[in-house]
């Protein structure tokens, strides 16, 4: 009996131990993963802080990527890497662990030659080992480089020449760099160092330095809007910095065009070309900054402007032959070749003054600058709805296709609602002071360029009537009317013609009553009773690219050739 009692008394003790053991291991299974997660998070954040600190202090333009677009090897440890950091200026690629060492041991592109180097008119190659471009060829033996699955071969960060490891001779390390195919577009570091010294000596005869660069030197300045359209601006910035001097490539989200264009004043007169990467709104922003240069007395430094279309509509880019949209299908090298080969043309710019009625005329008139078109009616309403939606949720509008789909949605909605009907009863139109009798319309569009609505030649319509082609340098505006959103859609697919109201040097439109949507170059607003006056403001120097012609463009080739001849005569 005593043994049985002692046995029964030991059972509770073992069960208690088992319970505490279960509690302990349960706590371990919960707490241990939490502690490991916290430890990893702490070290990850510490590592990210160190990386950010290196990024901020470095002369390299480091960026982090989760996946390289081609097989890559660390320039320090030579190991194959899938992710890591790269310099968008010189092209160095390193793993996270070697970032600090790479930042200390490898020099980036020198945008300005160091002062201790003295006055120079040339510079040696700047070689970087490994990760050479695919399909590149050795400048010595002419065989393909980068074919071995390891860190091998060299590339010059300025002229982009490549050399095999075994072909790299001592003489190549000190050989003068020719800056390669784009020597006529690159601003050499030794030019900027010479200009800097001249400014210290209070000398401004910069044209004496130009002959040291190239015989046909036409330096290009790249202005990219990283927020435009399909968000390709960030990628393009890096590619242009690789091929050019990083000092001539600007991100318009970080610096205004007015400040960036001051680089023109350090370059030869009438020689600079500007490549604007963005939509029509970005182009207008840059042209406004160029107009400010004229006001400051810097007319001789005014550049010619080319466009790389990254926006949604891109009608101005289309008119100037640069296409309706860029999605990476053309290599950056070809874009620079197109800029070199482009011809100069003139673009009319117009002043749009909107004077509101009432309030004893105490309100200051709104003044806009128009490059493309002004409109009142359904297309302005679509732009207004699109703009309001984008302001609420900008993250949704990162694709050109999505943007056009939203435009289509609002256009379809207006076909049913017809918010702008009976416009002819609400407005009066005057062309060069002559009153125009309006038919039954919902919208009026005033055109300066040939294209409208994302690629439609509005003035010519279907081309079945003998109307002259719209030009952007003749000082004339084309004025048309539309019957509604459905009519706009018919015009875009060539099933209808617009109502042609006439051409004029001055357009005056009076909104007598109610509130109507208006837009200037895609910038919409709702406007009450007012008087809109459109007059010629100035000219802009643009670059026209005669690329591959579509059926719509073929009819305008002769017009553009006439425009260039006309520009040459003016010059």
Q: Quick: pLDDT tens for 212-264.
A: 666 788 999 999 998 876 668 888 999 999 999 999 999 999 999 999 999 99
DSSP element (H, E) containing 541: strand 530-544
Q: Which residue has the tokens 């390289």?
A: 68
Give the per-residue pLDDT at 414: 53
Q: How far is CA 464 from CA 69, 79, 385, 487, 495, in A?
A: 49, 65, 34, 17, 11
* CATH number 3.40.50.720 is the correct assignment for the domain at 349-537: no
Fold exhibited by the domain 122-180 = Wheat Germ Agglutinin (Isolectin 2); domain 1 (3.30.60)
Give the per-residue pLDDT at 5: 47
Which residues, listed in sequence order, are joined to residue 508 by a DSSP beta bridge? 430, 533
Contact 548, 324 (CB under 8 A): no
> Reduced to 3 states, what is the DSSP secondary structure of residue 441?
coil
Q: Where are the domains of the chain?
A: 52-107, 122-180, 203-341, 349-537
Q: What is the DSSP letter of 177?
A: P
Handedness of CA 127, 130, 136, 139 (dihedral sign): positive
For 19-45, what is the mean pLDDT?
82
Nearest Cα residue to 335 out of 403, 276, 420, 268: 276
For 374-386, what is the mean pLDDT?
85
* CATH number 3.30.60.20 is the correct assignment for the domain at 52-107: yes
Residue 391 has pLDDT above 90, yes or no: no
For the chain, the distance separating the N- and C-terminal CA atoms, rounded to the nearest angstrom, is 124
Contact 346, 541 (CB under 8 A): yes
Angle (CA) 309 314 320, round 5° = 80
Contact 472, 348 (CB under 8 A): yes
pTM of the entire predicted model: 0.84
Q: How far is CA 502 from CA 339, 443, 448, 461, 530, in A?
A: 35, 15, 13, 14, 22
DSSP element (H, E) containing 195: helix 189-200
Higher pLDDT, 46 or 162: 162
Give the per-residue pLDDT at 404: 63
Handedness of CA 116, 255, 332, 543 (dihedral sign): negative
Q: What tokens were used for 255?
A: 């610096």
Q: What is the DSSP letter of 330?
A: S
Q: Determine the Cα–Cα distance for residues 569 and 571; give it in Å rounded to an integer.
A: 5
For 190-200, what is the mean pLDDT?
83
Higher pLDDT, 124 or 13: 124
Q: Determine the Cα–Cα distance for residues 567 and 489; give it in Å rounded to an integer.
A: 35
pLDDT tens digits for 548-559?
Answer: 545 455 444 444
> Reduced to 3 states, what is the DSSP secondary structure of residue 109?
coil
Q: Determine the Cα–Cα distance for residues 337 and 111; give it in Å rounded to an integer.
A: 22
Which residues, listed in sequence order, are joined to residue 346 by a DSSP beta bridge? 541
Q: Beta strand pairing status for 516-520 and 523-527?
A: antiparallel
Q: Which residue has the tokens 């003016």?
A: 570
Q: Determine the Cα–Cα distance for residues 437 and 142; give it in Å rounded to an integer.
A: 72
Fold exhibited by the domain 203-341 = Rossmann fold (3.40.50)
pLDDT tens digits for 506-531?
Answer: 999 999 888 899 999 888 899 999 99
- Whether 203-341 and 349-537 share one fold: the answer is no
pLDDT tens digits for 91-148?
Answer: 999 998 899 899 999 999 988 876 555 556 788 899 999 999 888 999 999 999 988 8
Q: Which residue has the tokens 């125009």?
A: 436
Cβ-based burial of 298 (10 A; exposed 0-12, middle 13-18, buried ≥19): middle
Q: Which residues does 362 contact at the CB level (< 8 Å), separation at least 6?
A: none
pLDDT tens digits for 141-153?
Answer: 999 998 888 999 9
């Amino acid at each position: 009996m005593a043994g049985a009692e002692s046995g029964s008394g030991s059972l509770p003790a073992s069960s208690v131990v088992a319970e505490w053991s279960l509690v302990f291991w349960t706590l371990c299974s919960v707490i241990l993963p939490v502690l490991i997660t916290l430890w990893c998070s702490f070290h990850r954040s510490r590592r990210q802080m160190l990386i950010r600190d290196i990024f901020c202090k470095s002369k390299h333009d480091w960026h982090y990527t989760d996946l390289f677009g081609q097989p890559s090897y660390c320039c320090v440890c030579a190991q194959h890497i899938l992710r890591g950091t790269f310099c968008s200026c010189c092209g160095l690629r390193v793993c996270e662990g070697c970032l600090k060492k790479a930042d200390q041991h490898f020099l980036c592109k020198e945008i300005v030659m160091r002062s201790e180097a003295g006055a120079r008119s040339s510079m040696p190659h700047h070689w970087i080992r490994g990760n050479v471009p695919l399909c590149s060829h050795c400048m010595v033996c002419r065989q393909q480089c980068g074919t071995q699955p390891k860190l091998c071969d060299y590339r010059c960060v300025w002229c982009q020449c490549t050399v095999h490891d075994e072909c790299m001779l001592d003489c190549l390390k000190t050989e003068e760099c020719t800056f390669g195919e784009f020597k006529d577009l690159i601003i050499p570091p030794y030019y900027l160092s010479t200009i800097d010294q001249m400014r210290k000596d209070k000398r401004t005869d910069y044209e004496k330095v130009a002959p040291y660069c190239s015989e046909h030197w036409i330096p290009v300045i790249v202005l990219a809007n990283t927020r435009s359209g399909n968000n390709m601006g960030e990628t393009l910035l890096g590619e242009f910095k690789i091929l050019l001097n990083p000092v001539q490539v600007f991100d318009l989200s970080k610096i205004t065009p007015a400040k960036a264009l001051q680089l023109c004043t350090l370059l030869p007169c009438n020689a600079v070309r500007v490549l604007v990467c963005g939509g029509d709104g970005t182009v207008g922003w840059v042209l406004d900054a160029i107009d400010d240069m004229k006001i400051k007395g810097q007319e001789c430094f005014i550049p010619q402007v080319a466009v790389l279309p990254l926006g949604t509509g891109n009608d101005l880019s289309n008119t100037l032959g640069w296409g309706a949209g860029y999605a990476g299908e053309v290599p950056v090298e070809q874009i620079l070749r197109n800029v070199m080969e482009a011809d100069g043309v003139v673009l009319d710019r117009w002043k749009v003054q909107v004077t509101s009625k009432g309030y004893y005329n105490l309100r200051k008139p709104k003044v806009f600058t128009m490059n493309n078109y002004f409109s009142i009616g359904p297309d302005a309403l679509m732009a207004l709805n699109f703009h309001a939606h984008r302001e609420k949720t900008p993250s949704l509008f990162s694709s050109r296709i999505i943007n056009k789909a939203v435009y289509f949605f609002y256009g379809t909605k207006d076909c049913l609602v017809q918010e702008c009907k009976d416009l002819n009863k609400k407005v009066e139109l005057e062309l060069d002071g002559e009153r125009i009798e309006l038919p039954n319309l919902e919208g009026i569009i005033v055109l300066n360029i040939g294209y409208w609505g994302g690629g439609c030649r509005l003035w010519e319509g279907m081309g079945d009537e003998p109307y002259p082609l719209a030009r952007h340098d003749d000082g004339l505006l084309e004025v048309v009317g539309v019957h509604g959103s459905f009519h706009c859609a018919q015009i875009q697919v060539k099933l209808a013609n617009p109502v042609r109201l006439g051409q004029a040097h001055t357009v005056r439109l009076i909104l007598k009553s109610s509130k109507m949507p208006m837009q200037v170059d895609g910038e919409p607003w709702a406007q009450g009773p007012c008087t809109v006056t459109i007059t010629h403001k100035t000219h802009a120097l643009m670059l026209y690219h005669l690329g591959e012609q579509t059926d719509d463009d073929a009819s305008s080739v002769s017009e553009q050739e006439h425009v260039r001849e006309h520009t040459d005569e003016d010059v």
